[in-house]
Amino acid sequence: MTQAASGVQPLRWHGDALELLDQRLLPGRIHYVRCTSAAEVAVAIRDMVVRGAPAIGCAAAYGFALDAMRGADCVQAEALLGESRPTAVNLFWALARMRTAADPRAEAEAIFREDLAMNQAIGAHGAALIPHRARIMTHCNAGALATAGHGTALGIIRSAHAAGRAISVVANETRPYLQGARLTAWECVQEGIPVTLVTDNMAGHLMQRGEVDLVIVGADRIAANGDTANKIGTYTLAVLAQRHGLPFYVAAPSSTFDLATADGAAIPIEERSADEVTGYRGERWAPEGIAVRNPAFDVTPAELITALVCERGIIHSPGREAITAMLAGPTGT
């Protein structure tokens, strides 16, 4: 397996097993979970050992390969993996590729390698959008941890930082699962990228005070018209960005685009366990018996997106025609 450029390795192949960095334990502990079957990988995806749309796609590909290599039933492997999480289309994109692969292990490797290359290309395109001294707000974690390496939204930040631009990051905590506080903050600290952590409800205040210059987020699924599903709270940020006249960028590889889904209303939104909202890591703060909603994603309408940054290029004011044309064009890597 190709080593991820950033040094953070969310997935690695070791012997005859897939090892997944347990993201539930970060930043406190580095521990890899060993998976030897599609069933184990499906559980790891469902339980958030590995998360982030492209990383989920890579893990599913290796999970499928694990079963194929030991002669197990690939139809069952695909069904198990396909039930693990519903929103990130990269999962289904990867499984569709695996279904027709002549050499499953080589195909999983190719999916991983291509994802890394796509992220680096996204970083190169996107860095051109980042002014010197930009204060960049991001939400959730769309970094190396969420991909084969480098990252999408955080990949752009990483590339701009590496190019010598004096940028800084405002990382939203990202309730309820704290991907921003635990993962994005950790990646930035590891690499010496200046970062300030805020809770999600501080975003509007910081924008109003002129402390944010632009917003960049990742995506779990981009519908044919450009409507974009991403971590819950993203839509709120896009509305706030429009109100304050700030650019709102979405970064994603072509594997996150879903031309079969016409618009955002048709994107399935995962509803997760109430425990994530009523408390954290065993501590409960909400009263017993309380009704809870926990949608893990929301949809940002295309009209609120300043530009989509893909490995194939940048689409300003995204819409159906431009997206279709870009995906039909040169690969960009």
Angle at 250 between CA 158 and CA 219, to 5 degrees: 95
Minimum distance between the CB of residue 142 and ligand MRU, rounded to whole angstroms? Answer: 4
Contact call for residue 179 and ligand MRU (CB under 6 A): yes
How far is 207 from 191, CA to CA, in rounded Å? 26
For ligand MRU, which residue has the nearest CB? 218
Q: Please confirm, yes or no, whether 227 is among the known catalytic residues.
A: no
Residue 169: strand pairing partners: 136, 195
Minimum distance between the CB of residue 121 and ligand MRU, rounded to whole angstroms? Answer: 14
Contact call for residue 146 and ligand MRU (CB under 6 A): yes
Our CB check for ligand MRU shows the closer of 74 and 203 to be: 203
The answer to whether 139 and 172 are in contact (CB under 8 A) is: yes
Total residues contacting ligand MRU by CB under 6 A comes to: 17
Minimum distance between the CB of residue 71 and ligand MRU, rounded to whole angstroms? Answer: 31
Contact with ligand MRU (CB under 6 A) among 220, 258, 298, 311 = 220
Contact with ligand MRU (CB under 6 A) among 24, 158, 161, 231 = 231
How far is 241 from 60, CA to CA, in rounded Å? 34
Please give the DSSP secondary-structure letter assigned to residue 160: H
Report residue 59: phi and psi, to 5°: -60, -40
- In this structure, the number of other CB atoms found within 10 A of the CB of residue 164 comes to 8
Contact call for residue 255 and ligand MRU (CB under 6 A): no
Residue 77 in 3-state DSSP?
A: helix
Residue 223: strand pairing partners: 258
Considering 115, 220, 227, 258, which one is annotated as catalytic?
Answer: 220
Contact with ligand MRU (CB under 6 A) among 41, 219, 267, 302 = 219
Residues noted as catalytic: 220
Residues that bind ligand MRU (CB under 6 A): 51-54, 88, 140, 142, 146-147, 152, 179, 218-220, 230-231, 296
